């Protein structure tokens, strides 16, 4: 009798399927929005503090946001972008601008 190749049952999770599932996990963009009530220095410090971005990278992101009104600062799983959104919203007002009342705005959108 010849042996039949094993066919996985649909109700059995194979290790490869678990790995493939994590590759297919949804990704989300974290957008930072432009504000006239925050200085470049504030944005650069905040991006460095939250994401560990270098001053050069943070300046490039700040410039893009200033020119386009908003920009992606991170693309990751939902838990990660939500944690960073909370950190951005908790960063506080820009001490360099007396009338600044709070943190920058950051929103989450599902990545295409």
Residue 9 lies in a domain: no
- From first to last of its 112 residues, the chain has per-residue pLDDT tens of 444 555 544 454 545 545 555 556 899 999 999 999 999 999 999 999 999 999 999 999 999 999 999 999 999 999 999 999 999 999 999 999 999 999 999 999 999 9
Residue 20 lies in a domain: no
Residue 4 lies in a domain: no
Residue 14 lies in a domain: no
Residues 42/58, Cβ–Cβ less than 8 Å: no
Kindly state the tokens that stand for 40.
């470049």
CA 17 from centre of chain: 26
DSSP 8-state secondary structure symbol assigned to residue 107: E
Residue 52 lies in a domain: yes
How many domains, the chain? 1
Residue 87 lies in a domain: yes
Residue 69 belongs to what domain range?
27-110
Q: Report the alpha-carbon distance of residue 112 to residue 104 in Å, rounded.
A: 24
């Amino acid at each position: 009798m010849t042996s039949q190749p094993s066919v996985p049952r649909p109700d059995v999770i194979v290790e490869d399927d678990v790995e493939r599932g994590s590759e297919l996990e949804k990704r989300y963009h974290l957008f930072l929005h432009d504000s006239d009530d925050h200085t470049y220095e504030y944005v650069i410090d905040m991006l460095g503090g939250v994401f560990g971005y270098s001053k050069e990278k943070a300046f490039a992101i700040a410039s893009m946001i200033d020119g386009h009104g908003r920009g992606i600062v991170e693309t990751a799983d939902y838990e990660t972008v939500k944690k960073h959104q909370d950190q951005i919203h908790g960063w506080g007002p820009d001490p360099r601008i007396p009338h600044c009342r709070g943190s920058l705005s950051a929103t989450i959108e599902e990545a295409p």
